[in-house]
């Protein structure tokens, strides 16, 4: 990968790939193998990238919607044709099991196609100016205009599809982008940038800056010529970005703490297998992964047994092996944190039912019960392969407990009763409620975001494209 990048020429500025004096390694989290080195951007690179992106924004604005759509369709087709190479790249730089990486590529193709379709659909409408006295002689309409330069900042866990969720809608709406991919997993984003340029994207419409967010994040997000910051990542970083960005358009896709409620009338086998897949897929490094499961007292033992059986059937190990369900975490520090939080919960009375062991970056799927509500593993986003069981008798208490999290994206409920489902769906504080499914379901076309603190904006191509646009009213006075 190092040589494929041209000895670390990983900064895309003004349509050209550049290196930098300062470089950082990219490592395979499973094997520890060095995959290459990428350039570390600094404030000087930001200046040049934003200046280029401003010219790119002018070019994108002039590009017809049909041409934007054609480019995005071409990129989707090229990605589909090269899917296996992209999937392998995701697995080698993140440790995500190859079957999940293939699913991510298929979803990224869909995200680009949805963006291509949105490009020709993003139209305004006429306004009934004569609906209020004084407007009788007026007629007109509104249109969507691009906002300009968008800084897009993405995390490591879906290093391709989450980048597509920024670039696709941004280009569909006629903007340019300065992309800052995750430092641990920037290589697949570089591959995507090359593919977009080859598909005909105007060369200054996309700049890409690799390196550490702490080195140049403030210079980028606080830049006066950046019209919008679209961020996906952790809440602490999101908060720092909001401070540095100041008054500009912000989209914040932050973390979650996925709660699931299992009622006494639920299909226990189905609920258990969905929860295991939702908790341990991508080694739990998933913003909508299952983290807390509230189980009705009368089915608690049966559910626990079914969950343990499904957990024990998981294949843990080499992510390139097509049979593997759970691979490594992104780094040893994150794996150590998972064990530390598990130990903390157990020291405070939790029962360890499975897992709790680590070998390097690999944390065995871990199941806890009797976890105190204020233990770190319950009240913070885990973002790892640890799930906790809680017992309840009263649905309202379970909903209150499920809602007791700073950050919420999805919640889930298993029940066969329509009345229960409708009641809980209305009361759960979440941006999406999955019924008879785990929290871990997302269609890339649906509105997606957070509920509660820090939530700003929605992704899901159509919604993101609108947030990356501004309306302009054109009004004719005929009198
Ligand atoms: P992170 O917040 O550590 O990093 C995300 C990105 O921010 C990286 O590219 C990083 O380099 C950059 N960054 C760091 N400091 C910065 C700064 N000061 N200025 C600008 N950029 C800076 O997140 P992560 O560990 O890569 O990913 C995990 C987090 O992402 C979890 O909290 C997870 O829930 C969240 N996430 C959310 C969604 C969603 O759609 N809501 C999806 C996936 C992941």
255 Cα nearest atom in ligand 1: 34
Which pLDDT tens digit goes with each residue over 333-368?
Answer: 999 999 999 999 999 999 999 999 999 999 999 999
pLDDT at 8: 84
Do residues 101 and 116 touch, judged by C-beta distance below 8 A? Answer: no
User: Residue with the nearest Cα to atom 25 of ligand 1?
Assistant: 155
Mean pLDDT across 182-196:
98
Give the tens place of pLDDT for each residue, 406-428. Answer: 889 999 999 999 999 999 999 99
Round to whole Å and give the CA distance between 109 and 444.
Answer: 10
Question: Can you tell me which atom of ligand 1 is nearest the CA of 184?
Answer: 26
CATH 3.40.309.10 fits 258-435, yes or no: yes
By annotation, the residues acting in catalysis are 253, 287
CA of 10 from ligand 1 middle (Å) equals 20
- Cβ contacts of 310 within 8 Å, gap of 6 or more: 272, 273, 275, 276
**Residue whose CA is at the smallest distance from ligand 1 atom 9:** 182
Q: Which sequence spans correspond to the domains of the chain? A: 3-254+454-474, 258-435
Q: What does the pLDDT average to over 69-93?
A: 98
Q: Which residue has the higher pLDDT, 7 or 287?
A: 287
Q: Which fold has domain 3-254+454-474?
A: Aldehyde Dehydrogenase; Chain A, domain 1 (3.40.605)
Mutational test site, ligand 1, from 39, 155, 457, max ligand atoms within 8 Å of CB: 155
Q: What is the structure's pLDDT at 452?
A: 80
> What is the rounded end-to-end Cα distance, in angstroms, of the chain?
66
What is the residue with the minimal CA distance to atom 30 of ligand 1?
Answer: 233
Ligand 1 site, residue 439, Cβ cutoff 6 A: no
Q: pLDDT, tens digit, for every residue of 437-457?
A: 999 999 999 999 999 877 899
Q: Is 240 in the pocket of ligand 1 (CB under 6 A)?
A: yes
């Amino acid at each position: 990968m190092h040589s494929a990048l041209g000895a670390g020429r990983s900064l895309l500025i003004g349509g050209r790939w550049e290196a930098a004096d300062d470089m950082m390694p990219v490592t395979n989290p499973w094997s520890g193998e060095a995959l290459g080195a990428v350039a570390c951007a600094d404030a000087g690179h930001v200046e040049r990238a934003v200046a280029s992106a401003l010219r790119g924004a002018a070019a994108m604005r002039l590009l017809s919607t049909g041409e934007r759509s054609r480019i995005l369709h071409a990129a989707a087709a090229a990605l589909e044709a090269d899917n296996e190479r992209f999937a392998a790249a995701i697995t080698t730089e993140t440790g995500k099991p190859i079957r999940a990486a293939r699913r991510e590529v298929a979803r990224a193709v869909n995200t680009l196609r949805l963006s291509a379709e949105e490009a020709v659909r993003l139209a305004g409408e006429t306004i009934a100016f004569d609906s209020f006295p004084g407007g009788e002689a007026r007629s007109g309409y509104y249109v969507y205009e691009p906002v300009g330069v968008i800084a897009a900042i993405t995390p490591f866990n879906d290093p391709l599809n989450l980048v597509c969720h920024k670039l696709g809608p941004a280009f569909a709406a006629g903007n340019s982008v300065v992309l800052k991919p995750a430092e641990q997993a920037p290589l697949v984003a570089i591959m995507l940038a090359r593919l977009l340029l080859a598909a005909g994207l105007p060369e200054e419409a996309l700049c890409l800056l690799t390196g550490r967010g702490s080195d140049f994040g403030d210079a980028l997000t606080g830049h006066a010529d950046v019209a919008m910051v679209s961020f996906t990542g952790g809440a602490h970083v999101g908060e720092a970005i909001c401070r540095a960005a100041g008054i500009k358009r912000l989209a914040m896709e932050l973390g979650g703490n996925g709660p699931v409620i299992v009622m006494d009338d639920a299909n226990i086998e189905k609920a258990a297998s969905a929860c295991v897949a939702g908790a341990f897929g991508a080694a739990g490094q998933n913003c909508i992964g299952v983290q807390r499961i509230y189980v009705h007292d009368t089915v608690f033992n049966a559910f626990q047994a079914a969950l343990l059986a499904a957990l024990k059937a998981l294949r843990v190990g080499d992510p390139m092996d097509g049979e593997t369900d759970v691979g490594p975490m992104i780094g040893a520090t994150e794996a150590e944190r998972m064990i530390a939080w598990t130990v903390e919960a157990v020291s405070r009375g939790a029962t360890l039912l499975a897992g709790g062991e680590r070998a390097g970056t690999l944390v065995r799927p871990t199941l806890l019960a009797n976890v105190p509500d204020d233990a770190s593993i319950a009240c913070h986003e885990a973002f790892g392969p640890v799930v906790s069981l809680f017992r309840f008798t009263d649905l309202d208490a379970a909903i209150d407990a499920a809602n007791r999290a700073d950050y919420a994206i999805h919640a889930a409920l298993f029940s066969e009763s329509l009345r229960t489902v409708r009641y809980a769906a209305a009361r759960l504080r979440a941006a999406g409620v999955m019924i008879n499914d785990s929290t871990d379901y997302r269609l890339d076309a649906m509105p997606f975001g957070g509920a509660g603190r820090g939530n700003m904006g929605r992704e899901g191509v159509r919604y993101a494209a609108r947030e990356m646009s501004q309306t302009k009213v054109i009004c004719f006075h005929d009198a």
